[in-house]
Amino acid sequence: MNKNFKNLLVLSSILLFASPLSAQIEDKRGLVAKGAELTKVKDGFSFTEGPAINRLGDVYFTDQPNDKIYVWNSNSNQVTLFKESAGRSNGLYFQLDGKLIAAADLNNELWEIDPKSGKETVLVPSFRGKKLNGPNDIWVRPKGGLYFTDPLYPRPYWEGIRGKEMEQDGQHVYYLSADRSELFRVTEDLKQPNGIIGTPDGKFLYVADIGDKKTWKYEIMEDGYLTNKTLFCEMGSDGMTIDDRGNVYLTGKGVTVFDKNGEQIAHIPVPENWTANVTFGALDRKTLFITAMGSVYTLKMKARGVW
Residues 6 or more apart from 124 whose CB is under 8 A from it? Answer: 109, 110, 132, 135, 174, 176, 183
* 9 within a domain of the structure (yes/no): no
CATH number, domain with residue 98 = 2.120.10.30
Pairing, β 109-113 against β 120-124? antiparallel
* 17 within a domain of the structure (yes/no): no
Chain mean position to CA 16:
29
The pLDDT score that the predictor gives to residue 1 is: 41
The residue ranges of the chain whose pLDDT is under 70 are 1-22, 160-164
The pLDDT score that the predictor gives to residue 167 is: 86
Our count of domains for the chain comes to: 1
The pLDDT score that the predictor gives to residue 23 is: 72
The pLDDT score that the predictor gives to residue 162 is: 59
Tell me the pLDDT tens digit for each residue of 216-234.
999 999 999 999 999 999 9
* 13 within a domain of the structure (yes/no): no
Q: How far apart are CA 242 and CA 143, in angstroms?
A: 18
* 156 within a domain of the structure (yes/no): yes
* 137 within a domain of the structure (yes/no): yes
* 8 within a domain of the structure (yes/no): no
Q: What is the dihedral of CA 208, 246, 176, 67, to 10 degrees?
A: 60
Q: How far apart are CA 229 and CA 219, in angstroms?
A: 7
Q: 34 lies in which domain range?
A: 25-300
* 155 within a domain of the structure (yes/no): yes
pTM of the predicted model as reported, rounded to 2 decimal places: 0.92
* 11 within a domain of the structure (yes/no): no
Tell me the pLDDT tens digit for each residue of 180-203.
999 999 999 999 999 999 999 999
DSSP per-residue letters across 220-259: EPTTS-EEEEEEEES---SSEEEBTTS-EEEEESEEEEE-
Residues in the chain: 307
